[in-house]
Amino acid sequence: MTARSIFILFVLLRLTGQAAAQTAMVNPVARSKQSLNGTWQVIIDPNNTGEWLKVWQERKPEKKTDFFEYGFDNGPMLRVPGDFNSQLPELTYFEGTVWYKRTFNHTPTDKRLFLYFEGVNYLADVYLNGVKLGSHEGGFTPFQFDITSQVKAGENALVVKTNNQRQLSGLPSFGFDWLNFGGITRNVWLIETPATYVDDYTVQLKKGSLKIIAATVQLKGPQAAGSEVRLNIPELRIRKKITADANGYAYMEFPAQVQPWSPAAPKLYQVVLETSAEAVTDTIGFRCIETKAGQVWLNTHPIFLKGVNIHEENPYTGARAATAADDSVLLRAAKDLGCNLVRLAHYPHNEQTIRLAERMGLLVWDELPIYQHINFSDAAVPVKMETMLKEMIRRDKNRCGVVIWSLSNETYPSTPGRNKALIELTAACCALDSTRLVTHVTNTQQYAGNVVTVTDTLYHFADLICVNEYIGWYVPWQGNPADTKWRLAFGDKPVMISEFGGEALYGQRKEPEDMAASWSEAYQAEIYRKQLAMFENIPHLAGVCPWILFDYKSPGRMHPVYQKGYNRKGLLSEKGERKQAWQVMKNYYGKR
């Protein structure tokens, strides 16, 4: 393709608004910003008719014969941020298109203006004043549009088409065990920056060091090349400056006497990145995470990962967690259980959750929604996987609490292309960030008598072996749990049991309690006691992570008495009631 044809294609894409959204700048909350949160007008569009009617143009009748079968005015309103399923009863299990609209006023300045979305599930098409800006796919990572040249003085109309329909080549694909919360589920910002601005940066300890900080800064804009960048960490009396190269990129390393971050001492430092035109402030912790001698080491000591799984759902509201208060409910309950880690199942949760976790001293397991049935044979899928990987790492790479990048959950080795795609994704992850542990979660272990054998080829390329096993629930015990043998053919790689447990309905004491089908608390608690006994035999066990902290919504859980649309594997009910198994885990973590 000649340069001329590439240019023509680019112009056409811009004109037709088919451009993809931009990769989001890091640390939006530190920027000069205006929130676009609040109540937005919506059109609920199950037949996707709005696409054909071009609702974003908001045409109004002019001639006597004109009419339009849509309108935002006098229609329903929805809260942003927030999933649409939990806001209107008719939307509980809705999977389709919901159009959102709001206006905002703008006063022209010499600044750049960005429209920044922290997350929209699953597809987003964004229009400003009737013109399409572009689209984004993926429900759990941020994206932005530079609207400097499109925004007008005075009132602007912003329309967002959201669609959460599951797709064969989506990430996740058709089948997943949680409620498919759709819509503008996370914060929306208008962000002002100087013409040349700090687009991206990394400030973390250099791999394997507790005494050297490595920092990269990427400027964007007409003055990026050759600009001076200053990096200050006031509490450490560190003031560095460096000149960005011809691409606006700057890299520096320097010694620093930091107090390492840890769950017991979650020390964070103010870090300021300055140019002649702006100062971007972040709070950043410094720690080293690595595996050695069959253990996970944090800073200078081995650590046992006392984890728990959480979905991004406030159990009390039954809505996607969208506010700091929602996030705090989940993380406080994890701390109450005695955890030092939360596994953010099965997708990147919102950024404020991860920032809160590191303030609370919780390690974070960040995960991509490459879940179970993935259509690896579609050439577009590995591209989407890598895009989401880049979006997740770019957003969270300065969060010291994040120690694990998990790139998949329970995919099937029999799926054509699965191993190749995930091995390549692992390499891409390590190239983007070599300072954290990389893993894949599998349930491909084999059971033969009282022996469990793990052979999944992905573990030749991962730092951690992470196994989901439900012995005592989906798989009956094959013998005495204390005698169960685990065979792992991966040297001394540390092992995590990333999911285990079973279901119970809080308060269920139906006799006989010793049957799975009773959904009794006693049966669930017994599963936990036997699991803990088995854990003693697992070589290089570096951590465990029960599934799951709270009962949570899942349309596939349909038992009319015990489930009613909830997965009941929670240690807590959706009302926060502690099941007997909660105490079993609390005691175990208290002794570890």
The residues of the shown chain that bind ligand GCU, judged by CB under 6 A, are 177, 346, 409-410, 443, 468, 499, 547, 567, 569
What's the min distance (Å) between Cβ of 499 and ligand GCU? 5
What's the min distance (Å) between Cβ of 130 and ligand GCU? 41
Query: Which residue has the CB atom at the shortest distance from ligand GCU?
Result: 177
Residue nearer to ligand GCU on the CB measure, 28 or 307: 307
The count of other CB atoms within 10 Å of the CB of residue 219 is: 26
Residue burial 55-80, b: 16+ Cβ < 10 Å; e: rest: bbebeeeeeeeeeeeeebeeebebbb
Cβ partners under 8 Å of residue 63, min gap 6: none
Residue nearer to ligand GCU on the CB measure, 124 or 368: 368
Per the structure block, which two tokens stand in for 490? 């991966």
Q: Quick check: helix, strand or coil at residue 390?
A: helix
Q: How far apart are CA 151 and CA 139, in angstroms?
A: 26
Residue nearer to ligand GCU on the CB measure, 36 or 581: 581
The count of other CB atoms within 10 Å of the CB of residue 449 is: 9
What's the min distance (Å) between Cβ of 366 and ligand GCU? 16
Residue nearer to ligand GCU on the CB measure, 249 or 470: 470
The count of other CB atoms within 10 Å of the CB of residue 204 is: 21
> What length does the chain have?
592
| The residue to which tokens 């969060």 are assigned | 399
Among the listed residues 510, 500, 583, the one whose alpha carbon sits nearest the alpha carbon of residue 545 = 500
What's the min distance (Å) between Cβ of 193 and ligand GCU? 39
Is residue 470 within 8 A of residue 502, CB to CB? The reply is yes
Q: How far apart are CA 75 and CA 93, in angstroms?
A: 20
Exposed, middle or buried by CB within 10 Å (0-12, 13-18, 19+), for 139?
buried
Is residue 556 within 8 A of residue 177, CB to CB? The reply is yes
What's the min distance (Å) between Cβ of 442 and ligand GCU? 10
What's the min distance (Å) between Cβ of 467 and ligand GCU? 10
What's the min distance (Å) between Cβ of 528 and ligand GCU? 15
What's the min distance (Å) between Cβ of 569 and ligand GCU? 5
Residue nearer to ligand GCU on the CB measure, 118 or 499: 499
376: left (phi over 0), alpha (psi -120 to 50) or beta: alpha
The string of DSSP letters for 38-89 reads EEEEEEEETT-HHHHHTGGG-----STT---S--STTS-EEEESS-STTTSG
Q: How far apart are CA 392 and CA 364, in angstroms?
A: 13
What's the min distance (Å) between Cβ of 466 and ligand GCU? 11
Q: How far apart are CA 204 and CA 210, in angstroms?
A: 10
What's the min distance (Å) between Cβ of 409 and ligand GCU? 5
Residue nearer to ligand GCU on the CB measure, 101 or 418: 418
Q: How far apart are CA 273 and CA 103, in angstroms?
A: 33
Residue nearer to ligand GCU on the CB measure, 391 or 410: 410
Residue nearer to ligand GCU on the CB measure, 28 or 570: 570
In single-letter form, the type of residue at position 187 comes to: N
What's the min distance (Å) between Cβ of 502 and ligand GCU? 9
Residue nearer to ligand GCU on the CB measure, 286 or 486: 486
Residue nearer to ligand GCU on the CB measure, 177 or 358: 177
Residue nearer to ligand GCU on the CB measure, 262 or 567: 567
